[in-house]
């Protein structure tokens, strides 16, 4: 005697949609709580509402960190260029990218951008044979401490 099972999911379709929506809302709330926890200012251990000045400070810190990361990467790329044999074309392409990165940015990184720009020009001059390698290395080494902020 065979058994027949008849499943009718249409009756439960609304319930499945409701459960799915509830899971999405819960996940969104947990995500927002996690982000808020990282951004909520604490004064004497007590959380307070995020004000416009706090938000601008967070944006400035994020921009500073991102720019510093780009400048550090550029310095490492200069170091790698000095470890290889001189290639004026590839080095010029690298220097153009670094020049774009050092044009403007956070005022507190001005000295680091200036030192990196000088180092980039010295590496370019080394790759074309108009400057000795030791001078180019020293200029990159001068820029590195300014990028450790």
Question: Global pTM?
Answer: 0.70
DSSP string, 31-87: HHHHHHHHH--EETTEE-PPPHHHHHHHHHHHHHHHHHHHHHHHHHHHHHHHHS---
Give pLDDT tens digits for 41-53.
777 777 777 788 8
Give pLDDT tens digits for 56-94.
988 999 999 999 999 999 999 999 999 999 999 999 999
pLDDT given at position 49: 76
């Amino acid at each position: 005697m065979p058994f027949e099972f008849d499943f009718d999911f249409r009756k439960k379709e609304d319930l499945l949609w409701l459960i799915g929506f509830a899971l999405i809302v819960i996940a969104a709330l947990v995500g927002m709580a996690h982000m808020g926890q990282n951004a909520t200012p604490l004064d004497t251990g007590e959380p307070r509402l995020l004000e416009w000045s706090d938000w601008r400070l967070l944006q400035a810190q994020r921009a500073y960190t991102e720019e510093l990361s780009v400048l550090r990467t550029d310095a490492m790329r200069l170091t790698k260029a000095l470890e290889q044999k001189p290639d004026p074309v590839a080095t010029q392409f690298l220097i153009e990218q670094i020049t774009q990165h050092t044009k403007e940015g956070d005022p507190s990184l001005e000295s680091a951008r200036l030192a990196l720009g000088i180092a980039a020009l010295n590496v370019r001059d080394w790759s074309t044979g108009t400057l000795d390698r030791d001078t180019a290395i020293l200029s990159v080494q001068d820029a590195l401490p300014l990028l450790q902020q």
